[in-house]
Structure 1
Amino acid sequence: MPRAPVICITHGGGPMPIVGPMLGDKGHSELNTSLQTRIPSLLKLGTPDMPRAIVVITPHWRPDFPTITATAEPPLYHDFEPSHPPQSFEIEYKASGAPDVAEAIYEAFKEAGLEPVKDTERGWDHGIFVPFILINPKGDIPLVQLSILPDDDPIKHFKMGRALAKLRDDNVAILGSGFASFHNGSVQRSLYFADPQGEEVQLWRGRVGEWNKALADVVLSGDPRHREEGLQRWRELPHSFDMHPDGEAEHLMPLMVCAGAADHDRGDQFSDNFGGVEVASHYWGVG
């Protein structure tokens, strides 16, 4: 059995990958296509080599300690804003949890000195169920939700990933759900409705492109030490505060975890157009 992969996706804006097409909004069309085609292919869904379970790191859960959903049948937590379309609160997705995998994560984190917590109350948030409706609508692979931490410390999150790496040998995939390229709400909303050929979009397309390249040079390396050292200085990368404002880098942290879990695998990436800029998803260990 091959070692399971590590993937960090761009999950889109809230419920809109699912609700947007119902309302005639095409802004997520490229992202949705990748979630429906590229990611299942990278995970080898529908083949004998597909993972037996997937650990999903969500940016929408930031408790004091790394926390693991440990129930067999987690409910959904529709953590949307009241301003979102009412259909958002009717989204459904059914898949099972994996308490045995949750226990393996717990033990791996304890061994790494990470003070983990097992949770049996909080449901899967939209960082899980929205993309997985597109990635695996059948819901036939168990999922385990994993939190990030309340600060933007890259090394703590990288350490979480290093501890997760051993699960890959047991055919458990690691999937970060975030928005590593660009998560600046006010700018994203402006770009989403702007003229794709206008000056504002062109300006931000250049900035995001420079950030993407610099970030890829760090995280796609096959040398985990290079990755860790580069991520420790991620704020020195071009336009970092434009991409992820101070104290608001939660949508980058799943990538930090994935970069740790990638171990010695060299990575690759693909990009989708979102709001006129290219947003990247990253992956490692895909044979």
Structure 2
Amino acid sequence: MSPLPTLFVSHGSPMFALEPGIAGRELRALTDALPRPEVIVIASPHWMAPRVSVTAAPRPETIHDFGGFPRALYELSYPAPGSPDWARRVLDTLAEAGITAHADETRGLDHGAWVPLMFMYPDADIPVLQISLHPHFTPAHHYRLGRALAPLRQQGALIVGSGSLTHNLHEFRSDHGPTQAYVEAFADWIATTLAAGDTAALLDYRARAPHAERAHPTDEHLLPLMFALGAAGDDWRARRIAGDDVRYGMLAMDAYVFEH
């Protein structure tokens, strides 16, 4: 089996589930063109745990971890199966890399996981495992976490980091106004840096990227990009999709495919 690519997707606001826009259509087209994975392993900033954890429930619930949105959003579900057997394989792979992790048999899928998956695999018939991020890990730590899982790509695992290319909710605009200049500058720097294959610069983005602290007052929504990049292994090339989709003037919905 040829190894699958890894993905970084922006899940934006929970309203993405009801408003697919460019990103929803392009994610669907992307996964239509990929080989069918055996399992999806996804990381989201909405599960930060003090120790690395992996969902192991056979039927993970759909978690509606948000408030104040239309009723229709709370009626959505993503009933994908889990896989205790794949969870054990993930834990064993992490252990081989020296990373101690924990099986969580009660945790479901938060909106950072299920919202983009509704577009990517709408039939919800592929097992999904979610892996937690760590509140005190750096970008480099999360890169190494993804790197530890890279061998699973050869076994049919699609590894996905779900975050947001820009994420400053203090600048949220409900009118879908024009894209703010700093959002474009930051997104273009990420695209240029990935095109150059400059992993060191990406991991040091807070010091090197324009408007980094404005685009990400805190790291958590960009850490899934580091995770996905690590899982890509060596000799990857980055393909950008949905680069024209910016929500509320400040949420860039860019996604990346790391191919070989």
- TM-score (normalised: structure 1): 0.82
Deviation of 1:194 (Å):
5.1
1: CA distance between counterparts of 2:190 and 2:87?
30
Alignment partner of 1:66 out of 27, 52, 65: 52
| Unaligned 5+ runs, structure 2 | none
Match of 1:51, SS?
A: coil
Would the alpha carbon gap of residues 285 and 160 (structure 1) be closer, same or farther in structure 2, given more than 3 Å must change?
A: same
User: Is the 2:239–2:259 contact (alpha carbons within 8 Å) kept by the matching residues of 1?
Assistant: no
Q: Report whether the alignment pairs 1:164 with 2:135.
A: no
What letter corresponds to residue 241 of structure 1 in structure 2?
E
Deviation of 1:221 (Å):
4.8
What letter corresponds to residue 168 of structure 2 in structure 1?
N
The residue aligned with 2:214 is: 242
Aligned length: 255
Q: Report whether the alignment pairs 1:8 with 2:35.
A: no
Match of 2:254, SS?
A: strand
What letter corresponds to residue 3 of structure 2 in structure 1?
R
Deviation of 1:118 (Å):
0.9
What is the aligned-residue RMSD (CA, Å)?
1.9
| Identity percentage of aligned residues | 32
Measured against aligned partners, the alpha-carbon deviations of 1:24-75 in whole angstroms (never above 9, x if no partner) come to xxxx52222223323x235x2xxxx321111111110000111100122111
Q: How does 1:117-196 map to 2 (within 5 A)?
A: 117-151=102-136, 153-179=138-164, 181-187=165-171, 189-190=172-173, 192-193=174-175, 195-196=177-178
Measured against aligned partners, the alpha-carbon deviations of 1:188-216 in whole angstroms (never above 9, x if no partner) come to x22x41543xxxx4xx2x32222122223
The residue aligned with 1:24 is: none
Match of 2:141, SS?
A: helix
| Unaligned 5+ runs, structure 1 | 21-27
What letter corresponds to residue 32 of structure 1 in structure 2?
G
Larger Rg over CA atoms:
1
- TM-score (normalised: structure 2): 0.90
Q: Report whether the alignment pairs 1:209 with 2:184.
A: yes
What letter corresponds to residue 144 of structure 1 in structure 2?
L
Would the alpha carbon gap of residues 112 and 221 (structure 1) be closer, same or farther in structure 2, given more than 3 Å must change?
A: farther
Measured against aligned partners, the alpha-carbon deviations of 1:135-194 in whole angstroms (never above 9, x if no partner) come to 111112111111111135111101101101000011111111110x2100121x22x415
Q: Which moved more, 1:249-258 or 1:84-93?
A: 84-93
Alignment partner of 1:86 out of 71, 77, 82: 71
